[in-house]
Amino acid sequence: MKLGLLDKFFEKKQKRIKPIFYLQLVLIIGYFSLFFLDINHSFGYIFLSLSFLLIGIESYLLKEKKVIFILNFIAFFMFALIFILDYFNL
């Protein structure tokens, strides 16, 4: 009996993938905690970029929408570039 990747995480295809959902929550909590702890704000950009990438991966796996994945990948790339420029003060 062959199980697909999606069958390992949930029963119905309309539900969100639980590990990706929990990782998105951790990234969002980390993003907002950076502002309250007054740590380097450039790490917030990498948290945002990773959350965009995870949303894109989830939409591609569940709904097979390549356009949403490409838009989220572009947002990931932009926020990652902002992180690099802000962290290294370029």
- pLDDT per residue as tens digits for the range 18-64: 677 778 788 878 777 877 777 777 888 888 888 888 888 888 887 78
The pLDDT score that the predictor gives to residue 1 is 42
Q: Which residues contact 65 (CB under 8 A, 6 or more apart)?
A: 59
- Angstrom CA distances, 83 to 15, 16, 48, 89, stand at 32, 28, 10, 10
pTM over cut 0.75: no
For the chain, give the number of residues. 90
Residue 38 is given by DSSP the state T
What are the backbone angles phi and psi of residue 12, rounded to the nearest 5°? -100, 145
